[in-house]
Amino acid sequence: EPEDLLKTRPPIVTIMGHVDHGKTSILDYFRKSKVVSGEAGGITQHIGAYQVIHNDQEITFLDTPGHAIFSDMRARGADITDIVIIVVAANDGIMPQTLEAIKHAKKAKKTIIVAINKCDLPSSNVDRVKSQLAENGLQTTDFGGDTEFAEVSALTGKNMEDLLELIALQAEVLELKANPKATARAAVIEARVVPGRGTTATVIVESGTLKVGTPFICGPYAGKVRSLINDRGAAIKSAHPGMPVEVIGFEELPNVGDHLTEMKSEREAKSLASERQEAQRLVRLKPQHR
């Protein structure tokens, strides 16, 4: 990629941790919204993708359900994630899903930031959480380690600005860049059929600019961007690198983890789609040898 075409892009930050440790609440606080209260039983069922503006810089967050199987999660967000926030409730301490999240974030060599949440609770025990995390390879910079910690409360807002600042600093270190003029490419993080809207997918733009009218290929299917809806539910005309956006215009339900790639024309998209479908058919027809 020619250096001068690269522009700084927002970091993609995935929030992980045990069930009910406050992942969605942290995002709600940043967005001044109330996603949690709209969730059935307060349980996150899917990955939400949202942007927050901090000092004029965009930060893209992926919310994840605490109960999800991590391998599934990984297919969804891990390959595009820059920074993982491990959320641990200060009263509960580390739990099985916390350990899972740490293990996978480390394995994928992601930058990790720890948010010790619920620090407002009288039953919170931050020192205990810190030593539990140290035992699992996450040592706070306060004690000579290399992991940034924030002691927060999504309820009262305590140290929440500090957490955003830590994310912004880590993003700066990572020097994240993308070319907004390149061929558009986006990763599918979620796909579903929405009554009245049809097949839709939430994607994160990786490079280029996704525009209404853009023909594309996604896995073995062609499509054309009919509309783009941002994280606040507003229709938009285009989406730049790092931006999460809901795309309407898929021919078929795409697979999570697939990448959508801009094509020059609908005709080219369709012809590539039939090539790919034919290739898949041949694979299926091939006699299976033991």
C-alpha span between 276 and 241 (Å, rounded): 27
Q: At its nearest, how many Å lie between ligand GTP and the CB of residue 90?
A: 8
User: Is 64 annotated for ligand binding?
Assistant: yes
CA distance 217 to 224: 8
Element (H, E) at 215: strand 215-218
Cα 227 to Cα 194: distance, rounded to the nearest angstrom: 14
Instruction: Based on the shown chain and the rule CB under 6 A, indicate whether residue 242 belongs to the binding site for ligand GTP.
Output: no
Q: Is 18 known as a binding-site position?
A: yes
Would you count residue 153 as binding ligand GTP (CB under 6 A)? yes
Residues 5-64 that bind ligand GTP (CB under 6 A): 17, 19-25, 36, 42-44
Choices 20-28, 84-92, 170-178, 255-263; region in contact with Mg ion by CB under 5 A: 20-28
Q: What is the DSSP string of 35-96?
A: HHHHSGGG---S-EEEEEEETTEEEEEEE--TTS-HHHHHHHHGGG-SEEEEEEETTT---H
**Residue 99 Cβ, how far from ligand GTP at the closest point, in Å?**
15
Q: What is the three-class DSSP state of 243?
A: coil
* Interface positions, 165-204, toward Mg ion (CB under 5 A): none
C-beta of 20: minimal distance to Mg ion in Å?
8
Rg (CA), the chain: 20
Phi, psi for residue 136 in degrees, rounded to 5: -105, 25
Single out the residue of 11, 65, 77, 249 in contact with ligand GTP (rule: CB under 6 A): 65
Residues carrying an active site annotation: 67
The site for Mg ion (CB under 5 A) is made up of 23-24, 44
The site for ligand GTP (CB under 6 A) is made up of 17, 19-25, 36, 42-44, 65-66, 117-118, 120-121, 153-155
